[in-house]
Amino acid sequence: TRRLSDSYNKAENYLAIGDLLRTTQIKYRGPAHWRQEAYAVFQDAYTIAQDIDNKRIASYALGYIGMLYQDEGRYSEALQYAQRATFAAQLVDAHESLYRWELLSARALRAQGKTEEAIVAYRVAMDTLQKIRSDLVSSGGRAYKLLVGPVFFELADILLTQTATLDNKESIQQNLIEVRNTMEQAKVAEIEDYFEHECVLPPEQTTRLDQVAQDSAVIYPVLLKNRTELLVSFPSGLQQFTTKIGVKALSEEVLKFRRNIEQIGRDETYKVYGENLYDWLIAPLEEELKRQHITTLVFIPDGPLRSIPISALYDGERFLIENYAIATTIGLELTNPQPIERENVQLLLNGLTKSVQGQAALPYVGNELANIQTLYGSNSRVLKDESFLLQTAEKEMSEGNYSIVHIASHGHFDKDHKKSYLLTFDKKLTMDRLEKTVGLRRFQKESLELLVLSACETAAGDDRAALGLAGIALKAGARSALATLWLVNDEATSELVSEFYNQIKIDTKISKAKALQNAQVTLIREGDYKHPNLWAPFLLLGNWL
């Protein structure tokens, strides 16, 4: 390559070769001379960039050299190169690389113990990142995990670390508010990355959950390498709780809990894992929850926590749902909470009882639909089996003025949102088609209040698939959704869902979260359905009022 004439392409090749040498050496613990060779080709790229006066190439060459120094713990040199790379990128508005060097500066400053300067640098990197987020979303792939998420989590990490050392209440609240705002931006970025689309609600339709619920606590678990931070929004303000369990150990426990709780049998090993998770995620808050008379917990889970039913965490005697109503939402800024209109509620009830497209029959769906129709009478319309055709359902959902759409059918949520679907009698209803059918209603006054999916499932341990489940309400333009993490016994589903509808019908003041709590507790106390496999996977997503 060195025999080629100096040119932009030659410099680009040098950058690619150097980056490959560096990343391969790190990943496979290759020989040290690979790093020396990487340094050499980065220097060559920088020399060419100067010769052809290309600031963008110069910025990359300097930044990559800074990363080599960072790898070796030589943070002073890393910072010098990061600052030079930043300056070169600023000269040509190269935002696609600028935030990388700003992040490199922030990391180098933090490693040197310069906390205040590091926080400023992280904020600058985040501001730059916002300018190119739409480009990252449109480019597809997993931009969030590789490029976006680290900026948010590292800023949250350093702010939370700093907060633990403060004794001024005002400063503590300012830090915690910034952490919450940072995590909110992370949630928006992640859901946009998953759907490869800027699908968030219009700002004018969002309301802060923590401003409307006086009996509720909003819980952000922030999963970090060496600990788990619990940022909790109480009516009295934000508080920080720390659990010394890192994300790796927590993830392993979550997976064991999910796999065990899905199995029905005499073995109650799931309680062991559920109790461990309770000790890590709930016990630190317990005293404050009681002191502030909290009755509803709103979780904004991250990563693996999306794939488990928080309601089934176990305190040694009782499940969490027996003490608190529980809801899940992607983020406060992605939720528009207001009580459902109980007068003149219109329902579209869709369901399959027969085996179609290779999926098992769901014989109790008939009872489920009949029970709901009995409650709501002429305010409900039923599309069952041969009547539940894709074209018919789409027409009803898009043209009908329904408050609640109920779909009792097989569904699958995949790590690739394009492979997620709900079954109709003849075809698959994909998430994209669901958005085109009812999603546009979110820009109208009469949004869909509630979407109920009573037979969907996600893969155990696949938090990206679980993100799709969590985003279903957004995709459908619904204020909230009731859905399941795994395929539940058909008869138990019919019982629970029917009781949920009964609760919101007979008590016009009850929240959807408390209606679900009552339905789940009813099953727990019935001998045939007490195993959490049968009631726990039902999640209330989004608006829980």
Cite the DSSP H helix spans in 146-281: 149-163, 169-195, 247-261, 270-281
Question: Which distant-in-sequence residues (6+ apart) come within 8 Å of 67 by Cβ?
Answer: 22, 78, 104
**pLDDT at res. 203:** 46
- Tens of pLDDT along 417-467? 888 899 999 999 998 888 888 766 666 556 788 999 987 787 677 788 888
Q: Tell me: the pLDDT tens digits for 82-93?
A: 999 999 999 999
Q: Which residues have CB under 8 Å from 32's CB, separation 6+? A: 25
- 3-state secondary structure at position 450: strand
For the chain, list residues with pLDDT below 50: 1-2, 202-204, 209
Yes or no: say if 504 and 276 are a contact pair by the CB < 8 Å rule. Answer: no
Contact call for residues 299 and 310 (beta carbons, < 8 A): yes
Residue-level pLDDT at 143: 66
pLDDT of residue 337: 63
Cα→Cα distances 373→102, 122, 377, 380, Å: 58, 54, 5, 6
Phi, psi of 346 (to 5 degrees): -110, 130
Give residue 519's pLDDT: 97
Largest CA distance in the chain: 82
pLDDT value of position 142: 61
**pLDDT of the residue at 132:** 84
**Residue 397: alpha-carbon gap to chain centroid:** 26
* Helix residue ranges, H only, 303-430: 365-376, 390-399
**Closest to 393 in 3D by CA, of 456, 437, 443, 357:** 437
Joined together, the tokens standing for residue 501 give 């509808």
Please tell me whether the overall predicted TM-score, pTM, comes out greater than 0.85 for this model: yes
Contact 517, 326 (CB under 8 A): yes
Taking the CA atoms of residue 169, residue 170, residue 176 and residue 178 in that order, the dihedral angle to the nearest 10 degrees is -170
Taking Cα atoms as reference points, which of 152, 533, 494, 510 lies closest to residue 351? 494
Residue type, 321: I
pLDDT in tens, 489-544: 889 999 999 999 999 998 888 999 999 999 999 999 987 899 999 999 999 998 88
Cβ–Cβ under 8 Å, residues 137 and 196: yes
Angle between helical axes of 149-163 and 95-111 (0-180°, round to 10): 30
Give SS3 for 228: strand
Q: What is the pLDDT of residue 210?
A: 52
Q: How far is CA 42 from the centre of its chain?
A: 38
Alpha-carbon distance values, 309 to 247, 249, 290, 293, 483 (Å) = 18, 18, 22, 23, 11
**In terms of Cα–Cα distance, which of 206, 379, 231 is closest to 298?**
231
* Cβ atoms within 10 Å of 165's Cβ, excluding its own: 8
Rounded to a whole number, what is the distance in angstroms from the first to the last CA of the chain? 64
Long-range contacts of 265-272, Cβ-Cβ distance < 8 Å, separation of 24 or more = 270/312, 270/532, 271/314
